[in-house]
Amino acid sequence: MFAFLFGYLCGAIPFGLVLTRLAGTSDLRAIGSGNIGATNVLRTGRKDLAALTLLLDLLKGTVAVLTVAHFAPGIPMLAAALGAFLGHLFPVWIGFRGGKGVATFLGCLLAAAWPAGLAFAIVWLAVAFLTRYSSAAALAASALTPTVLALMGQTGAAVTFGLMAILLWAKHRANIARLAAGTEPRIGKS
């Protein structure tokens, strides 16, 4: 329980909102999708803040998992990963309205099983390159993750990240609808 709560508190830090407020830009929750992640930060016109948000959202998952793994590897580490991911999706500090979780998912995955994290990154890059859809890349990479973990013999991680992938897909339901309708913006397009 402590590992989950620690992970949640790490994940609940709304870096996108904090960074954009410190920079004096408009309220991140009032533009674009209203999410606190790097993609929405990019809509403020600040590529530097978007990149930093991406890095910090990734690292909050990594730090939560590695910290717990140092003291209690195994199930507590996976509880920290789930907590960090849920913290990002539903941060208590801002009314449980967070981001879509892709960077935090990857950060947790890199800490829990770096080869699976590498596979995620390769799939994301390949799908993004072929389709020019960031959302499709994230959906494909997250869907493949449980299988990669299962093939690595990490059943507990496969189940945990499978649950996280389902939540990630649920948070992307508007993107999925736009992909189906052919109206999803491509990378580099408005």
Structure confidence by residue, pLDDT tens digits, 133-153: 999 999 999 999 999 999 999
Is residue 190 over pLDDT 60?
no
Per-residue model confidence as pLDDT tens digits over 108-136: 999 999 999 999 999 999 999 999 999 99
Residue 32 main-chain phi, psi, to 5 deg: 50, -125
Is residue 154 over pLDDT 80?
yes
Q: Considering the entire predicted model, what is its pTM?
A: 0.95
pLDDT of res. 167: 98
Maximal C-alpha separation, the chain: 47
Q: Provide the residue type at 88 as one letter.
A: H
**What is d(CA 132, CA 11) in angstroms, rounded to the nearest whole number?**
28
